[in-house]
Structure 1
Amino acid sequence: MAAPNASDLFCKAVSEGSVLQLKILRQIHGRKAIMANFMDTPCNKQGDTCLKVAIESEFYDVLEFLVHQLKGHIMFGLYKIWKASIKNVSPFSWETYTFQEVTEPFVLSPDIAIIRDICHKVPITRLIEYLIDVGCDEPLWLEFVLNSILASSIPRPDKIVALECIGTAFIFKQTHYLFQRRNVLNEIRFWRGPRCWKEALILRNATADGEPAIPKVPCEQSEMLRNAFGDVAEMTTVEELEQLEQQWSLPRELEEWQILRQSLEAQALLVGHRTFTRQTDTGLNSFHLENLVLFSNNFNKQNSRAFNIYLIILDQSYGFTSTSPHKCVGHFVRTIYGLLILFDKLWANQQDHPETREIASKNLVLTVKYTLAALTNVSSASPHFRLIDRTWQQDIQKKIHVLLSNWLSSLTKEHTENLKECLVPFFRIYNSNHGFLSLLHMVVNFDRPSTYMTTYSTTVQLIQLMLEAGADPRITDRNGKTPFHCLFDGSVWTCARSNLKTVFKAMLDAGGHLDQATSSGRTVISLIKSWRTSALPFANLVRDPYFDSFIYSVLPLSCSCAQVIRQKRIPFENQLPPSLKSFVLLHSDIKIT
């Protein structure tokens, strides 16, 4: 039997979603061999290309690898030709300039078939999402993608969407060019986005072959959109775009160009919002999210504007599913960090600006709502969504803890109730995350009252609020320790006996289990006993008749039975219903004297 050739191995690796195998094949055969033999080779019996197989199988890491190879080929192979053609556009004037001269190398390149031939097999908004990374891609790549799509046989409405979206991508590539020396190339780059929009409008108005015109219906702006994007509106006619170019053809100061750039970016986001909210069948789109994140960078010193942009980004998390691209998670995380940093600034400025406290209190509930919603929506996509690294989730929970500790005392009763409603869905999902440090663990196990300027009374209030919202005092960390155990594990609470008793009762009422054991066999009762008999300086503070009553109390018969089952190693896994099995597992298999 003949050994499989390199092409067969490549197709097999793509079909199995093995990026590791693809990297090995690239190392053995080289980048040129991949482009020459693999990219346009049918990957299965249906004749589908590797790109299509990766897209349909939702192998996003494989897709990212393939697109990266294609980008490298285009940048290395066509860049010199493109650079030479664009330099020939001189002297420069909008009256005589045509983009055909710039894009001719792409039209003549056979490589456009790689994207062209899959355009009709993938929703156009998904294709743009897979192929374009606004923050990293060069304009050359954007031109290649656009020409590949326009050379395809997809319907006119899809080509209009492509022109509008890639025009948006060009708009967000302007940021760096404004700070460079102004020349012909920079001028072309700056206006390429509006020119794409103009081509889209011309295509909308075309009535060749008896096709009707496709009117542009501007994005309907909600109050949230107006607060985020400002007082802007989409340009709906070719004349408006031409007039804009004419007005800005004269030399301008850098500050004026920045104002224009921000205005165009806001309009680009309206284009994106209109496009992607109407494409409900394709779900959340990371291309639009990335543009929103880039836009938020303009307003680091404008707290109110930045706050509203952050909320719009996190609001998109309600559309997150197990099939959403992993990139979306990164955009949500960066946005959450930006939002929480904003509140750190407010906390630092509150002494000099008393009105800051009122602004923060008003927006705190919304911040917690959308931050926890993003965490919840991402987590609820499991198990289909492969999210192994939980470090960022725990880091965000720590920051939420700090945020709530700082501002909880400033909230009105109404805001506190609203905050509790926001916590309910979060705990409903995260209560099942055993083996990880929970938000309730963090609050109970804070270092000392001075940390984050938190008082015991604030911490008690926060714990009670979380328990009322559904936080489970039985949830365990990686050592099997619950928040209930944390009360007596260390010296945090020994200095505040009345507060300790309040929290203890609250956890007991919320379902905390006194006989639940850690991985080392310690129970809450055994910890109380250890404190009572220890020689630590604070031991006398926990020698209280209330806690003593639990040491000498008789366990319920159900707990005694569970202890016997565990300590005598009696098989029960396949003998009990799930609820009883979970109850037995709460108890230690080590006898504690």
Structure 2
Amino acid sequence: MHPNLDVSKIEETSDSERLMLLTIEQLIDLLEALGATCVFCGDYQVRRYGLACWYEATKLREGHAIPKTPLPQSEWEKLAMRNKVEFSSVKHLEKLLGMRRTHWIVQAIIVGGRLLKKFNRFPNKFLVFNVSNFAFRIWRGPGTKGSRCFALCLYILELIGTTEFSRDLVLHPVEAQDVLHLTYTELFNVFDLLNISEPDTVLTFARLMETLDFCFSYNVKLHDLSPEDAIQIDDQWTIQSKADKIEDVQQLIIVILKLLVSIPKSKTQSKELKSRIAIYINIYELKRANKKPNLLLKVCSSHQGDPNEFKLIKLLLKAGADPNAVDQQRCSPLHLLADGEVESSHMWGDASYSTRAENFAEIVRIILDGRFHEDQVNLRGQSALECLKPFSSLYPNAQLCLLVGNFLQQLQGVRSLSCIAAKVVRKHQLPCECLPVTLQSMVLQH
């Protein structure tokens, strides 16, 4: 409904009389909106009717000299829509008639966005849903370039924003067919299509940072607002549970972080990245999910010894990630890294392994110099570096061998009373359910 109409008058009139109450500009807006709706939702004949509505609106503009004020397009909209602009003449519409349906839908997206912004109804679920449907055809189309798929994902996230509208989509995923999470899922798939060997063309630092910000914000909203359980829609589609969605978005965050550490950066950009990660760790990992596996643990669990993975682990530690986080086997990040080195012991004799060993030794030093609890053991009763003890003399890095030796020697020395008490409780399996949660956690660490 047009915001400047007198509703009481309209309710007392017939359909033909209602049209007479509209100003020419209001009639143009109505025809343009109707045209966009028909193009979005109809079959070929309905879409032709929508085009006819645009045709009449354009003739009215030209006949009454009412200019159309196109809105400036964002970078993502330009990339997603291939720099297409809104039709401005009858001649343009006649040319559009012979084009594919996707060209019509691009015009409907641009027209719909302009009208919604004009009447302060933006963003809008109807528009976002139809942009998502359009993007899905592009994502699944043959020969589609990864750069355009990436732009479409970011354009949808830009449309949704990070305000109350996005909160509503997280809280009520069924109403818009979970379009927000489906976009993040597709974004994860898009990174496989992109040419990572030429990151400057699409995966610039600024674009990746913007993507990371969207993911960080979405991760927090999922934790705070998403329904806990999965929602069965029909036999073929189920909306994921909160836990599964959080796992999805955190895997996406790790992919983006790996890309960010791999591309060249200035000192200012490196500081910006570290600061942004530190904010996320403080807002989400420490205040909301401090009892769950953090990004550091997830990276270490899939670690393959790649130099960029070591860079990311180092960055997460320096940004404040908790090195004492544990998985279901009570393994800390250092446990997982140490196990990975043991599994790779058959390569220790290779000359090329020295760089990996040096990187691992640096990570161990950072962890031991930080907030790491040295007595922490996994379910097998092993401390992190005890995993390396049988192999320490063979490891191809003298600094690491020294660190392991000093660490194990300290374990045999004087321990704090609290650590001794925790070990006794754990060893004899004494009941500790009545203890405060922090003390229970300390017992489990030993």
Q: Report the TM range for the smaller structure's normalisation.
A: 0.5 to 0.7
Mapping for residues 324-339 of structure 1, pairs under 5 Å: 324=169, 325-326=172-173, 330-339=178-187
Note if contact 1:434-1:478 (Cα within 8 Å) is conserved in structure 2: no
Structure 1 length-normalised TM: 0.53
Distance across 2 between alignment mates of 1:374 and 1:160? 39
What are the superposed Cα offsets for residues 420-478 of structure 1, whole Å, 9 maximum, x if unpaired? Answer: 344344333441335655432232123533xxxxx2x3222111112233333233434
Q: Which amino acid aligns with 2:372?
A: G
Question: Is residue 2:301 matched to residue 1:445?
Answer: yes
Question: Is residue 2:313 matched to residue 1:470?
Answer: no
Cα 1:492/1:279, change in 2 over 3 Å: farther
Q: Which amino acid aligns with 1:318?
A: T
Note if contact 1:435-1:477 (Cα within 8 Å) is conserved in structure 2: no
Q: Which amino acid aligns with 1:234?
A: E
Question: Is residue 2:131 matched to residue 1:292?
Answer: yes
**3-state SS in 2 of match to 1:359:** coil
Larger radius of gyration: 1
- Quote the residue 2:408 is aligned against: 548
- Quote the residue 1:271 is aligned against: 111
- Pick aligned residue for 2:168 from 323, 329, 338: 323
Question: Is residue 2:272 matched to residue 1:427?
Answer: no
Q: Which amino acid aligns with 1:286?
A: K
- Quote the residue 2:439 is aligned against: 584
Superposed displacement of residue 548, structure 1: 2.0
Cα 1:464/1:530, change in 2 over 3 Å: closer
- Quote the residue 2:352 is aligned against: none
What are the superposed Cα offsets for residues 289-338 of structure 1, whole Å, 9 maximum, x if unpaired? Answer: 23333444448634444433322222334135543341568434443444
Q: Which amino acid aligns with 2:218?
A: N
Note if contact 2:324-2:333 (Cα within 8 Å) is conserved in structure 1: yes
What are the superposed Cα offsets for residues 543-591 of structure 1, whole Å, 9 maximum, x if unpaired? Answer: 6323324423434455556667887546765xxxxxxx5542431258x
Note if contact 1:310-1:339 (Cα within 8 Å) is conserved in structure 2: yes
- Quote the residue 1:84 is aligned against: none
Note if contact 1:423-1:469 (Cα within 8 Å) is conserved in structure 2: yes
- Quote the residue 1:504 is aligned against: 364
Cα 1:358/1:563, change in 2 over 3 Å: same
Cα 1:487/1:192, change in 2 over 3 Å: same
- Quote the residue 2:221 is aligned against: 380
- Quote the residue 1:514 is aligned against: 374
Query: RCO higher in 1 or 2 (8 Å CA, sep ≥ 6)?
Result: 2
Q: Which amino acid aligns with 2:309?
A: T
Note if contact 1:167-1:195 (Cα within 8 Å) is conserved in structure 2: yes
- Quote the residue 1:458 is aligned against: 308
Superposed displacement of residue 382, structure 1: 4.2
- Pick aligned residue for 1:191 from 34, 45, 48: 48
Cα 1:516/1:215, change in 2 over 3 Å: farther
Cα 1:381/1:343, change in 2 over 3 Å: closer
Cα 1:310/1:551, change in 2 over 3 Å: same
Distance across 2 between alignment mates of 1:562 and 1:464? 30
Distance across 1 between alignment mates of 2:368 and 2:118? 49
Distance across 2 between alignment mates of 1:554 and 1:203? 89
Mapping for residues 35-74 of structure 1, pairs under 5 Å: none
Note if contact 2:375-2:419 (Cα within 8 Å) is conserved in structure 1: yes
Distance across 2 between alignment mates of 1:173 and 1:504? 58
Distance across 2 between alignment mates of 1:159 and 1:514? 74
Distance across 2 between alignment mates of 1:463 and 1:538? 22
Cα 1:200/1:479, change in 2 over 3 Å: farther
- Pick aligned residue for 2:71 from 211, 214, 219: 219
Q: Which amino acid aligns with 1:170?
A: C
Superposed displacement of residue 285, structure 1: 3.4
- In the alignment, structure 2 segments of 5+ residues that lack a partner are 4-14, 230-240, 349-355
**3-state SS in 2 of match to 1:433:** coil
Distance across 2 between alignment mates of 1:555 and 1:162? 78
Note if contact 2:205-2:265 (Cα within 8 Å) is conserved in structure 1: no
**3-state SS in 1 of match to 2:168:** coil
- Quote the residue 1:345 is aligned against: 193
**3-state SS in 1 of match to 2:179:** helix
Mapping for residues 27-176 of structure 1, pairs under 5 Å: 164=32, 167-173=35-41
Q: Which amino acid aligns with 1:373?
A: F
- In the alignment, structure 1 segments of 5+ residues that lack a partner are 1-118, 124-149, 178-185, 206-213, 351-355, 450-454, 574-580
Distance across 1 between alignment mates of 2:210 and 2:326? 24
Q: Which amino acid aligns with 1:288?
A: L
Superposed displacement of residue 197, structure 1: 4.5
Structure 2 length-normalised TM: 0.67
Cα 1:471/1:314, change in 2 over 3 Å: farther
Cα 1:546/1:395, change in 2 over 3 Å: farther
Distance across 1 between alignment mates of 2:271 and 2:386? 37
Cα 1:283/1:326, change in 2 over 3 Å: farther
What are the superposed Cα offsets for residues 222-259 of structure 1, whole Å, 9 maximum, x if unpaired? Answer: 444334334444347xxx35x5555567xx5xxxx22x
Q: State which drifts further: 362-371 or 160-169.
A: 160-169
Superposed displacement of residue 340, structure 1: 4.2
Q: Which amino acid aligns with 2:383?
A: S
Distance across 2 between alignment mates of 1:219 and 1:530? 61
Cα 1:417/1:331, change in 2 over 3 Å: farther
Question: Is residue 2:386 matched to residue 1:529?
Answer: yes
Distance across 1 between alignment mates of 2:255 and 2:76? 27
Note if contact 2:326-2:332 (Cα within 8 Å) is conserved in structure 1: yes
